[in-house]
Structure 1
Amino acid sequence: MTAWTTRADVVAKLRRRWDSGEFLTAYASDASLFPLEVPLRGPGPRELATDLSAAQEWAAQWRKANGVRLEYQRVGGRLIGANDLPRRVWIDEWPQLWSLLGVAAAVDDYSGLLDRTRAAAPALTAWMLAKPHEVLALAGEWDRVVATVLWIDSSAAPGTFLRQVDVPGVDTKFIERHRAVLSRLLDRQLPAHRIETDCAPADFIGRYRFRRKPQYVRYRWLDPRHRTGGFTELTVRTDEFASTPPEAESILIVENETTYLALPPTPNTVAIFGGGYALTRLDALTWLTERRVRYWGDIDTHGFAILDRLRRTFPHTESVLMDRSTLLAHETQWVQENSPTIAILDHLRPAESELYRDLVEHTFGPSVRLEQERIRYASIESALCDE
């Protein structure tokens, strides 16, 4: 009997179609699926002959089933007689289907959301019809999502900060939390010229022309004779630093903060705190092409990857203390790199490339790394001051 179709089997089959969104989309689009048929697998003649009582019990359970229409088929023969057994379930209207699945409340919620959105923002309804369960998942916040889309459409001029979105109950965290669905809806609501298609939907700020948070550069004079506005160290906006360069002949970019703070006095030199791969913000400092630029990072695969990235924009960049002799002189200070890269680096110089390859191939041991702060201070003074 376990192979014969039960009411739970029918509900499960229909539930899969509900979960796909098919039923809600059809309902909201005024498309009729009825009468809706679900075939039943029931006892055949042989099973009737061998287990008639179980077959009769199965048929009796179906006869008690509410909310569906049954189609019967005569099964049997001379030995056991003819028996009318259920062979198909038919559902004839939406209320029957909603009752069978227990989703009437969800349907009402979705219909209400769709009606309100169709009145306020009709351009969004096609997406709602295609993604009904995504709409239901946001039922408690959907009205605010739509209000946010409409506010951006009507009031967000290019260069507006997200913080300036002025919708009751909506803040920047709400926008970040619902960024994916907002992107899909804004792509349908906004005119083409309001969408920066070169930016992926994941880049919400860029795609819809909001103003990005400014980037900053932290720098300090290593020459004790120089200050900027009376300060030896400043953190400034990158765009302003790009247009107001310090009067330094040499720029030293350093990754480790403690090392950056402890650098020895060096004539006509400004040190910049790098920040790892975030040093791409330095691309805007076009005046670096006219200065001597040195980069000092960890001797590991990512250190060389960052150097390689910097050289894409500033090919004249020199490396400092990122050589084989420095590495071998500090063997007792080696640690292990957690997640080495094996990227192809096209902007390294020959000696750097050889050392990078040795690190990738574990020539000195598994994932060898020499961090900046582990290099002897005398080596730093020699590299920076004895030129």
Structure 2
Amino acid sequence: MTMLSVAEARAKARTRLRSSMSTWATQSDPVVVEIALHPPTEKQVLEDQAVAMEWAGTWRKVAAPEASDSKPENLNSPNIDWAQRSWARVGRQQIPLRLRLRTPDAVANFVGGDEARWWRRLRDRTATIRSRFDDQHAAASARVKDVVANNEDAAACVDPLVSAIRAHAKRILGLAEAEFATLLDVVDWLRDNPVGTLRPRQLPIRGVDSKWFETHRSLVTALLEATGRPEAVDVLDAEPRIRLRILDPELIPSGLSDVTAPVTQLSELAIAPRLVFVFENLESVLAMPDWADAVAVHGSGYAVDNVARQAWVHGARVIYWGDLDSHGFAILSRLRKHLPHVNSTLMAEGTLIDHKDLWVQEPKPHTGVLPELTGTETRALARLRAEGDVRLEQERIPWATALAALKATAASAGESADASNKSSASQGEPTTSASEPAAPRRAQG
């Protein structure tokens, strides 16, 4: 068996520190990390005595056999179990058997580097949070002790502050010192002051604005819930907005053609388009020509759910066009959960292959399963991944190519509607078509 080097033991301890950091920071139970050093046998020593002696010497520098581990100050230092071997041909030797790190600080001290700094920061910030909200923490801790004393299931009674810190340890760790201080001030203030429906801009806390609150809201909410005041975070964020281009002026006689408005207000718009284009690229929305009975909507990425909240969308045919990459398909899948009748365009394998010279690498691809995709879309996604997570950005496709595809998809999506219109026409009802761009009908003065 290979002797474990100091570097290899340090790597093992580093992995353990990374995976256990949030647990260790929030528990009072003792922590001992033991790592077997796999010392050599007499036969192995004889095969290369110099290497064996050098190996033992490196561990002696970490913690010599003579070092006393009984003093409290030594608990945060590495400790090694040494054993004396009396070998016939090598003689009496002190051999390191096992590395013992008896506290999280001992693990951090042995590991060193960034991980040690991260541990100390999380340890100190956890202590600060628990001290700041000591009244709630004390009550929860007392309840946990009662549970244990009565042999109840301790898992049924988890300290909510501990749960919050563990769930958000990475975010707590990543805050700059000023941000962390502001976080505590915000939680303190919201806990003690009922806010009703204040805007983030109205909070009387230095350094807090709507952007800060949007970034840190989940962490603030978790800590407030841990203090027993989940309702205290009733602070309003700005309502998301949607940009809409009305491609047929007759849909809204006022002449308004380019609208950006809150989601709820836009849903009340008195329009009834027969065709809705949803694009992820704003330039594509702005480039759209006049189109009878049609509108173009900027999807805004994963906020595409907001498109489905528009009342006037549900009675229309919907065509989605996004970047030809994993996230584009994830957004399409998300939209189709709310609007099952959505058709996609330019999101097939053929489009990808035809524009191979325009591919770029997708930095952080989506890896989840997307069951709402059609067979054609699923094959295109598989090809993207097989080619090494490439992407074809929407705006890189020539506009003439894009417009031709939009016309074809609109015509295909409108076939069933046209059949319905013919049936209506036989009963004397007027018919129109939203399959192609056209100079829209304009009201006569």
Structure 1 CA distance, aligned partners of 2:25 and 2:249? 72
The verdict on how the C-alpha distance between 1:47 and 1:33 changes in structure 2, with shifts beyond 3 A counting, is same
**Which one is further off, 137-146 or 211-220?**
211-220
The amino acid that maps onto 2:12 is: K
Tell me if structure 2 keeps the 8 A contact 1:254–1:272: yes
The amino acid that maps onto 1:170 is: V
Equivalent runs, 1:192-341 vs 2, <5 Å: 210=237, 212-213=239-240, 222=249, 231-233=254-256, 235=259, 239=264, 245=270, 255=277, 261=290, 273-275=295-297, 279-283=307-311, 295=316, 337-340=345-348
Q: Which has the larger radius of gyration?
A: 1
1:138 aligns with 2:175: yes
TM, length-normalised to structure 1: 0.57
Equivalent runs, 1:115-154 vs 2, <5 Å: 115-122=127-134, 125-126=161-162, 127-128=164-165, 132=169, 134-140=171-177, 141-154=179-192
> Which residue, 62, 67, 74 being the options, matches 1:65?
62
1:44: how far off?
0.2
**Which one is further off, 54-63 or 131-140?**
131-140
The amino acid that maps onto 1:115 is: A
Q: Partner residue of 2:95?
A: 85
Q: Partner residue of 1:169?
A: 207
Q: Partner residue of 1:50?
A: 47
Q: Partner residue of 1:371?
A: 407
1:369: how far off?
2.6
> Which residue, 102, 117, 125 being the options, matches 1:113?
125
TM, length-normalised to structure 2: 0.51
Q: Partner residue of 1:353?
A: none
Unaligned 5+ runs, structure 2? 64-76, 137-159, 278-284, 300-305, 323-328, 350-369, 381-403, 412-432
Tell me if structure 1 keeps the 8 A contact 2:4–2:38: yes
Structure 2 CA distance, aligned partners of 1:218 and 1:338? 21
Tell me if structure 1 keeps the 8 A contact 2:199–2:237: yes
Alignment identity in percent?
Answer: 16
Tell me if structure 1 keeps the 8 A contact 2:25–2:123: no
The verdict on how the C-alpha distance between 1:165 and 1:78 changes in structure 2, with shifts beyond 3 A counting, is same
SS at match of 1:116: helix
Tell me if structure 1 keeps the 8 A contact 2:250–2:440: no
Structure 2 CA distance, aligned partners of 1:11 and 1:185? 34
The amino acid that maps onto 2:239 is: R
The amino acid that maps onto 1:31 is: D
Q: Partner residue of 1:32?
A: 30
User: RMSD between aligned alpha carbons?
Assistant: 5.4
1:16: how far off?
1.8
Unaligned 5+ runs, structure 1? 196-206, 264-270, 313-321, 323-335, 346-355, 363-367
Structure 1 CA distance, aligned partners of 2:337 and 2:80? 72
Tell me if structure 2 keeps the 8 A contact 1:69–1:89: yes
The verdict on how the C-alpha distance between 1:209 and 1:372 changes in structure 2, with shifts beyond 3 A counting, is farther
1:238: how far off?
6.4
